[in-house]
């Protein structure tokens, strides 16, 4: 995906079901820059916290999106902040049951499951920062204030194992576990991890090496499929990364099949053995 530019003087396009371009603008500006994945992630996280832990979202509030250099400086933003090129957003969810801001740990854990590279628990304990296209390795952290009153970043390897996750009673959903995003050459290993979560014994070696055992373990998938394995297919074919094979993804997969027809055969919108062979780099 890429950063898109929206001119609000020409209209206010809807980016997802619940989010408009204007919600990501720098105060007083009509030009909005925003990485396409950011609103898609936020919309998907709304569904994830409901599906995983039954916390239904009444509203999404964007605290910060794209920032101009002047505005970023005025709020004390970092000189190289991912908000400047439009690759980040800060937001919170309003809990439908309580009418109050949902504890951010729900969003943090869901974002970690989704494989978002930049995830930060903002020190108010309710807002979350995510960024995309800005990092090459995971940055999962939270803000805190030290004894001298200065705010610092504290590293977190796994949000599920933090004390505030245990306080909320959050556990990893059945069939999932946090998977640290790897560089592109780690795609096969991440696929092997996901397959091992869902398939019976014997387990695959998680060695990032494509081969006949990994190929044989890949499931047949089509429109309507969900889960981390769908996200991996989307990543490989270069489309929006969510965990749902919807109509948009179905069309993009068809286009990929057509472009690779000499390897995968007929474009039938089904990810079967020939398609997996191509995705694994075996053909």
**What tokens does 36 get?**
């396409």
Kindly report the average pLDDT of the chain as a whole number.
86
Residue 80 maps to a domain: yes
Helix, coil or strand: residue 162:
coil
Render pLDDT for 68-91 as a digit per residue (tens, 0 to 9).
999 999 998 888 899 999 999 999
Render pLDDT for 90-126 as a digit per residue (tens, 0 to 9).
999 999 999 999 999 999 999 988 888 899 998 777 8
Query: Do 19 and 133 belong to one domain?
Result: yes
Query: Do 263 and 194 belong to one domain?
Result: yes
Residue 174 maps to a domain: no
Helix, coil or strand: residue 165:
helix
Query: Do 229 and 153 belong to one domain?
Result: no
Rounded CA separation 198/41 (Å): 24
Share of the chain above pLDDT 90, in %: 46
> Which residue matches tokens 């740990």?
105
Is 114 in contact with 161 (CB distance < 8 Å)? Answer: no
123 versus 129: the higher-pLDDT residue is: 129
Strand pairing of 139-145 and 118-121? Answer: parallel
Is the per-residue pLDDT at 29 higher than 90? yes
Query: Do 164 and 24 belong to one domain?
Result: yes
Residue 265: give its domain's CATH number: 1.10.101
Query: Do 10 and 55 belong to one domain?
Result: yes
Helix, coil or strand: residue 174:
coil
Render pLDDT for 30-45 as a digit per residue (tens, 0 to 9).
999 999 999 999 999 9
Based on the structure, what is the number of domains in the chain? Answer: 2
Render pLDDT for 145-164 as a digit per residue (tens, 0 to 9).
666 666 677 777 678 878 88
Residue 118 maps to a domain: yes
Render pLDDT for 177-218 as a digit per residue (tens, 0 to 9).
554 444 345 788 888 888 888 777 788 888 888 889 999 999
Q: Tell me the residue range of the domain where 76 lies.
A: 3-168
């Amino acid at each position: 995906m890429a950063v898109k530019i929206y001119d609000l003087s020409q209209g206010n396009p809807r980016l997802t079901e619940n989010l408009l371009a204007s919600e990501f603008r720098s105060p007083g500006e009509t030009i909005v820059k925003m990485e396409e994945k950011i609103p898609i992630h936020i919309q998907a996280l709304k569904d994830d916290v409901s599906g995983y832990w039954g916390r239904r979202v009444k509203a999404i509030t964007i605290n910060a999106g794209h920032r101009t250099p002047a505005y970023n400086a005025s709020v004390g933003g970092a000189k190289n902040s991912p908000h400047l090129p439009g690759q980040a957003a800060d937001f919170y969810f309003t809990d439908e049951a309580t009418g109050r801001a949902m504890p951010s740990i729900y969003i943090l854990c869901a974002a970690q499951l989704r494989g978002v590279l930049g995830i930060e628990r903002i020190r108010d304990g309710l807002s979350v920062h995510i960024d995309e296209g800005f990092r090459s390795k995971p940055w999962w952290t939270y803000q805190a204030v030290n004894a001298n009153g200065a705010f610092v970043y504290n590293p977190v390897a796994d949000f599920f194992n933090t004390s505030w996750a245990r306080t909320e009673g959050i556990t990893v959903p059945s069939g999932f576990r946090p998977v640290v995003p790897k560089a592109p050459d780690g795609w096969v290993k991440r696929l092997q991890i996901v397959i091992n979560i869902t398939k019976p014994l014997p387990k695959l070696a998680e060695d990032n090496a494509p081969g006949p055992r990994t190929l044989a373990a890949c499931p047949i998938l089509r429109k309507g499929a969900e889960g981390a394995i769908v996200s991996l297919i989307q990543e490989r074919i270069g489309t929006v990364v969510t965990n749902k094979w919807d109509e948009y993804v179905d069309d993009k997969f068809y286009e990929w099949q057509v472009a690779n027809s000499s390897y995968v055969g007929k474009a039938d919108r089904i990810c079967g053995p020939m398609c997996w062979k191509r995705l694994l780099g075996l053909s």
